[in-house]
Structure 1
């Protein structure tokens, strides 16, 4: 990070109990969730769902910026279906991701350019680049 970088926001959470039977709360109280293992019988969500929600929301914001640069308005019904896989391979856990982007009504080539630019600029995409397998599809 350069010295000229401007801090825009810091998210703060407190988590206890982990994914087995935990909870996570944000410092401002807007997030207050129970945690449970993926596919388990627990009543809470899991970190993979939270990651999918955060990444897809951020990615849509990056698409909005890319569209504005082109003087295009994103379709009102644009959507991202994010899938985060939790993998176990030879005793080690890892993640794999798919972002399925829908931009109905946009020219396919223009939509592809917006999605590609968003994937280059989205902070979540940048954070995982080279660390996990990611597929970004235009549906």
Structure 2
């Protein structure tokens, strides 16, 4: 199988074409953004960060507890001797997208086309182009390897919880304890 790379944009900005997915949004049109809300939940994960922020520790208690030492990457002044949030985000997104890809293939009675697929993520941390935004922002690229079906890839992008979060936004509540 030859690797397929699909840089995915929100599906509302695309039209399906016989040769694949093509961009059709008018860049001069402002994009209205809503927020995705939940009517219920079927699972929740709890994580706690402690210590020196990006150089502290993070724990998740659940079915398989996990504790990691966090460290800023060397390229932004850290020691690079631990994990960082961008790695964790990329791992979660890749895993969620792969599951969505396999589910969409199965629903289309094409389970075999995604059985050996791989999803690669590149998560970029950088400065926003908007001069009014301080701090950092993220840019994400997904590459799908081993699945040649653009419609299945697009359906996975529409279904994946991470893709939805980035496309539609998520409800965030900040509480003081």
TM-score bin (small chain): 0.7 to 0.9
Q: Is the 8 A contact 2:101 2:153 kept in 1?
A: yes
Match of 1:8 among 35, 42, 45: 42
* Residue in 1 that maps onto 2:8: none
Higher strand fraction (1 or 2):
1
Query: Within 5 A, what are the aligned runs for 1:1-139?
Result: 1=37, 5-17=39-51, 18-19=53-54, 21-28=55-62, 30-39=65-74, 40-73=78-111, 74-89=113-128, 90=131, 91-103=134-146, 106=147, 108=148, 111-129=149-167
Per-residue deviation, 1:75: 4.2
- In the alignment, structure 2 segments of 5+ residues that lack a partner are 1-36, 170-177
Q: Which has the higher contact order (CA 8 A, sep 6+)?
A: 2
SS in 2 for 1:25: strand
- For normalisation by structure 2, the TM-score amounts to 0.63
The CA distance in 2 between the partners of 1:32 and 1:8, in whole Å, is 24
- In the alignment, structure 1 segments of 5+ residues that lack a partner are 132-139
RMSD: 1.9
How many correspondences in the alignment? 123
Structure whose CA Rg is larger: 2
CA spacing shift, 1:75–1:67, aligned 2, 3 Å = closer
- For normalisation by structure 1, the TM-score amounts to 0.79
Which stretch of structure 1 is more off in the superposition, 45-54 or 32-41? 32-41
Per-residue deviation, 1:93: 1.1
Deviations 1:11-30 (A, max 9, x none): 001111311x2111112362
SS in 1 for 2:155: helix
The CA distance in 2 between the partners of 1:60 and 1:75, in whole Å, is 8
